[in-house]
Amino acid sequence: MFQSSEIYGGMNGFWDYGPLGVELKRNVKNAWWQDMCAGHNELIQLEGAPSTFEMVGLDCTILMHPQVWKCSGHYDLFHDFMVDCRESKKRYRFDQVRGRWVSAKSQRIFVTTMVEADTEVEETQRKAQKFFNLRAKDVDQLVWESGFVSLDKLTPEEHAVTLAPDANTLGTFTAPREFNLMFKTYVGALSGEEGAAFLRPETAQGIFVNFKNVLDSTRVKIPFGVAQIGKSFRNEITPRNFTFRSREFEQMEIEFFCNPTESPGWYTYWRNRRMQWYRDLGLSDKRLRLREHHADELSHYSCGTADIEYAFPFLAEGEYGELEGIAHRGDFDLRSHMEGKLDPKKRPLELERTEDGQPKHRGSGRDLTYRDDLTNERYTPHVIEPSAGADRAMLAFLCEAYTEDEAPDEDGKMQTRVVMRLHPRIAPIKAAVFPLVKKDGMPELAQKIYGDLKKHMNVFYDEKGAVGRRYRRQDEAGTPYCITVDGQSLVDGTVTVRDRDTLVQTRISVSELTQEIKTRIGS
C-alpha cells in the first residue's frame, strides 16, 4: 500500500493499493460477496436463523439526491467534534487527543500528544521536560498521575492548563465545535447551493432508497438481505493508523429486511454469523471480540448495535478497533425516506427544524411498507445492518498473518523467516511455480504449469536465484503453495508442492495439480 499522490508529498487519509494489496483486498471483498450474497443458498435452513432467507446484490451511485442525506440524518447529525490549536493552527478530533496529568515546580498541567500508543509515554515526557525547562538528570521532578485520558473527558476549566500536541504554551485549544464529515461537491454547471451534492458517507442509503425497486423487480420476500460493496467518503478530521481511518474507503454492507417481531432474533443471528466469518478467514479469538454498545454510544438511527473489534497491534495494550458494526436500525431509514412530501419548489438543502429543535425530515412520500402475501399484514420492515469496512478487514488480516519463525535455509541452517500466514482464500498469490534450475527443460515444464494454473487463479513464475530465496520471497507475500519442477519431474511427471506454513513438501502428478491446488485453497 502506498500513500496516494506520494510523489507530490502525499495526501493525508488517502491510500493506493499496490500489485499485492489490490489482490488481497479484492479477495477479501470476493470472499465476503461469495459467503454473504452470491453463494448464499436460501433453500438451506441456516443454523440459528429464525427462517430461510434470500440475499441479492446492488451497486448504487456515490452521488445521490441531497435529500437522501437529510432524511438519513447525515446532513444534520453526522459530525464529529473538533478543536483547533490557536498556536500551531492544527486541527484535531476532540476525542482523539490523549494526554496525562503531570506536576512539577508547583504547577499541574495536562500534556497531550497525537503520536501512536507505543511512543506516547516518551513523547509526553519529552514535552513536559521541555515545558518545565528541566535537564535530563532532573526528570525525577516530574510527578505523573496514572493513565492517559482523552481531551473530551476534561472540564472546560481544565482546558486552560492543557498543552496541545504541537504547542509550547498552555491553553491554546479552542472550544470544541461540530464538523460535518460529508464531502461536498457540485453537480453539473450549477455551482451554487442548487447543484450541491455529497459524496456518500455510507453505502447503506443506496439500498434503502432502492427497497421498492428490489421488491418490484425480483421475487424476494421478507426476510431478505441486500448486499453492496462500494466506496464511501468521510472527511475525517484526523485520519490515522494507516488505512484504519482514512477519508476514502470501501464498505461491505448488508441491509437485512425483516418482520419487526422477528428482528431481535435476526440481530443475534447476524452478530454471530459475522463474527464467525472473521474467524473462518483466520482472525484468532485472542484478538477478536464482540462488544455491545452502551445506550449513550448508539448512532442516531440505532436501537441496538454490537461492534466486532480487533486488537490491532498499533493500539495501546487492551484497546480494540472496530472492524464492523451490526446495528438494529429498526424502521428508521425506511420511515424517514417515506414520510412527508418533498416540495420541489423548496431548496432541498435548507435545514428545517421542528419547534423543539429536532431536524424535520421530508421524505420521498413514497410508500415503502411491505405487504405479506400470506397473512395480508402490512408493515414497515425492520432492518438489521452488518456494516463492514473492506480496508479495515484487510488490515486486520495483514496484522494477524505477520509472523516470524525459524526455517532451514539452502544449507539446512535454521534462519528467521518472515511469513504472512494469510488464509489461502485471501492470499494475493495462490501458488508460485519454480524450475529448480534454469536448464534441462525444467523452465519449459514450469512455464507450461504456470500457464495452465493462471487460467484458474493468480500464480507467479520465478526462475531467478537460489530456490530457497524464492521460497522466502513467496513466504513474505503470503503465497500458500510453491510448486517446484525438478529432475524427477521430467522423468515421472510429478512436482513438489511446498506448504508455506508446515514447510512439508509433497509430490503431486502434474495432471492432478490444478485440482489439488484448487481444493487446498478452497475454490
Binding site for ligand GAP (CB under 6 A): 202, 204, 234, 236, 245-246, 249, 251, 253, 322-325, 385, 387-389, 391-392
Taking the complex as a whole, how short is the minimal distance between the CB of residue 199 and ligand GAP, in angstroms?
Answer: 13
CB nearer to ligand GAP: give 275 or 388: 388
CB nearer to ligand GAP: give 159 or 234: 234
Question: Which residue's C-beta sits nearest to ligand GAP?
Answer: 389
Taking the complex as a whole, how short is the minimal distance between the CB of residue 229 and ligand GAP, in angstroms?
Answer: 12
CB nearer to ligand GAP: give 23 or 253: 253
| CB-based contact 226:254 (threshold 8 Å) | yes
The residues near 188 (Cβ < 8 Å, ≥ 6 apart) are 195
Distance (Å, rounded) from C-alpha 172 to C-alpha 161? 9
C-alpha cell at 54: 434470500
Taking the complex as a whole, how short is the minimal distance between the CB of residue 406 and ligand GAP, in angstroms?
Answer: 35
Which position has the grid cell 414497515?
Answer: 380
- What string of DSSP letters covers 224-285? EEEEEEEEEE---SS-BTTTTB-SEEEEEEEEEEE-GGGHHHHHHHHHHHHHHHHHHTT--T
CA dihedral of 164, 168, 173, 174, whole degrees rounded to 10: -150
- Secondary structure E strands in 314-413: 321-330, 370-371, 378-379, 382-389, 402-408
Taking the complex as a whole, how short is the minimal distance between the CB of residue 396 and ligand GAP, in angstroms?
Answer: 10
CB nearer to ligand GAP: give 390 or 419: 390
Taking the complex as a whole, how short is the minimal distance between the CB of residue 480 and ligand GAP, in angstroms?
Answer: 26
Secondary structure of 106-119 as H, E, C letters: CEEEEEEECCCHHH
Taking the complex as a whole, how short is the minimal distance between the CB of residue 390 and ligand GAP, in angstroms?
Answer: 8
CB nearer to ligand GAP: give 113 or 251: 251
What are residue 238's phi and psi, to 5 degrees? -130, 85
CB nearer to ligand GAP: give 13 or 443: 13
Taking the complex as a whole, how short is the minimal distance between the CB of residue 375 and ligand GAP, in angstroms?
Answer: 30
CB nearer to ligand GAP: give 361 or 392: 392
CB nearer to ligand GAP: give 131 or 267: 267
Taking the complex as a whole, how short is the minimal distance between the CB of residue 387 and ligand GAP, in angstroms?
Answer: 4
The residues near 222 (Cβ < 8 Å, ≥ 6 apart) are 257, 258, 259, 370, 372, 381
| CB-based contact 165:114 (threshold 8 Å) | yes
The residues near 105 (Cβ < 8 Å, ≥ 6 apart) are 132, 141
Q: Which residues pair with 180 in a beta bridge?
A: 79
CB nearer to ligand GAP: give 142 or 288: 288
Q: Which residues pair with 322 in a beta bridge?
A: 309
- Secondary structure E strands in 42-114: 54-57, 79-84, 91-93, 98-104, 107-113
Taking the complex as a whole, how short is the minimal distance between the CB of residue 463 and ligand GAP, in angstroms?
Answer: 39
